[in-house]
Amino acid sequence: MQPKKSTAWKSIRNIFDQVHLYAGLISGLVVIAVCFSGTIYVYNTEIREIMDSELYFVEETGERMSADELKSSLEKSSDSNVVGLMWNEEADRSVQFTLKKEGEEGRGSTFYVNPYSAEILGNSSDKTSTSEFMGYMFSLHRWLLLDRIETPILESMGNRDLGRFINGVATLLFLLGVITGIVIWVPNKVKNWKQGLKVKWSGNWKRVNHDLHNSLAFYSLIFLFIMSATGPFWSYEWYREGWQKTWDTYQAPAPKGEVAAKTTAEAKPELAAPIEEVNLAVLSLEDIFAKTNAELPYAGNIRVSLPSKSSDPISVSKYRTGFFARAGADQLTLSAADLSVTEANLFSDLPFRQQVGRSVKSLHVGDIFGPFSKFLWFVACLIATSLPITGTLIWWNKRKKKPSKKKQSNPLKSKQQVAEVV
């Protein structure tokens, strides 16, 4: 009975071996490019802050001006209106204000501001060598740099869509490689698990390469699975919709007729109920901060979006800070009339399924638990970059082996050799 089971498993494992091998070989080059750029992009914010530190850090000189004082100063000097801001409480950090001129289209321009002098340090849309480099890394990670090619490669789709499609195929193949790798590794190493979790540095380079591929992949397994399972979210509409339905975050798009009707209704103020007029110019940012901190009593940065009309509410988001800071902002909607809370969307109040569904970006880039998880994702992504290389070398070394025609005369010696290979 035992030989039959062994033979059946050998056949099954051979199938998984082949799937694992060809999934890796086909997607190898793309995976290297995507994972290499992803390794760097994990620390996108930190790299920008270090290289363009003049935008993010300021010298502490006296007392910081209040948000209202900064707002007033910026509006007078730029002849624009403040429509939003990102407030950082750290003493050596700049703050960000979004300014928009009367009648200007779009969301306005965001500036880094010195909170001690109201000096504008720079515009977030300004091109620096760091932003250019990180832009290339993002393009390589998302579209394989195909969006940088002006001439269409295919007539049926744009270059960005082509890059997104190829990226998605490679990521799905990598995910298949992770799953088949689990099936191959576990039954094979479960009896000798200690051997499967370490590298025999005293062996030849082929043995070291083999151990590195197996051991490093096992240690980073859960992170590789999460990264590859979330990656296609940005490549395929069907995958994105499936993800949202799985985690209960899907919202069907409204029919075009309903959107048009809603827009028409909003364009007719005479049909709306009368609303008490509010002088938006006298809205106090400090009062907004106080209300937000009273409702959300924890350390964090606050983003405020001010309304363009007195009838519109104030949108506030608060982000946790700290080494183990959890991703997912808490959001409040405040009345412009009296700053009362008209709606509160707290991340912690969401069901677990929706927390996972709404954290797809944080799960993919690794900031799900702040700097702590970022470091784990950085190491895992570095390992993922190496796996196609070490895996290809394993395949190439096996390919070069010539089958031995001589029979093993010493059974004990044969078992020892097999044990060393495994």
pLDDT band at 419 (very low <50, low <70, confident <90, very high): very low
What type of residue is 242?
G
Residue 212 pLDDT = 93
In the predicted structure, residue 67 carries a pLDDT above the cut 50? yes
- Cβ–Cβ < 8 Å for 192, 179: no
Phi-psi region of 108 (alpha: psi -120 to 50; beta: other; left: phi over 0): left
Q: What confidence score (pLDDT) does residue 269 get? A: 46
Q: What is the mean pLDDT of the chain?
A: 87
In tens, the pLDDT along 83-99 reads 999 999 899 999 999 99
Identify whether the C-beta of residue 18 lies closer than 8 Å to the C-beta of residue 11: no
* Bigger pLDDT: 35 vs 309: 35
Residue 155 φ/ψ, nearest 5 degrees? -75, -25
Most confidently predicted of 101-115, 254-268, 384-398: 384-398
Q: 173: closest CA among 46, 32, 64?
A: 32
- Cα distances (angstroms) measured from residue 300 to each of 42, 69, 289, 327, 367: 21, 21, 11, 11, 15
Q: What is the pLDDT of residue 191?
A: 64
| pLDDT greater at residue 253 or residue 270 | 253
* pLDDT band, residue 106 (cuts 50/70/90): confident
Give the pLDDT confidence of 281-328 residue by residue, as tens digits: 568 999 999 999 999 999 999 999 998 887 789 999 999 998 999 888
pLDDT attached to residue 12: 85
**Quick one: pLDDT at residue 232?**
97
369 vs 409, residue with greater confidence: 369
Q: Does 403 score more than 90 pLDDT?
A: no
The distance in angstroms from the start CA to the end CA of the chain is: 24
Which amino acid is located at 362 in the chain? S
pLDDT of residue 422: 41
275 pLDDT band, cuts 50/70/90, is: very low
- HEC string of the chain? CHHHHHHHHHHHHHHHHHHHHHHHHHHHHHHHHHHHHHHHHCCHHHHHHHHCHHHHECCCCCCCCCHHHHHHHHHHHHCCEEEEEEECCCCCECEEEEEECCCCCCCCEEEEECCCCCCEEEECCCCCHHHHHHHHHHHHHHHCCHHHCCCCCCCCCCHHHHHHHHHHHHHHHHHHHHHHHHHHHHHHHCCCHHHHCCCCCCCCHHHHHHHHHHHHHHHCHHHHHHHHHHHHHHCCHHHHHHHHHHCCCCCCCCCHHHHHHHHHHHCCHHHCCCCCCCCHHHCCHHHHHHHHHHHCCCCEEEEEECCCCCCCCEEEEEEECCCCCCCCCEEEEECCCCCCEEEEECHHHCCHHHHHHHCHHHHHHCCCCHHHHHHHHHHHHHHHHHHHHHHHHHHHHHHHCCCCCCCCCCHHHHHHHHHHHC
pLDDT-above-70 percentage for the chain: 84
pLDDT, greater one: 133 or 197: 133
Do residues 97 and 150 lie in contact, with contact meaning Cβ atoms separated by under 8 Å? Answer: no
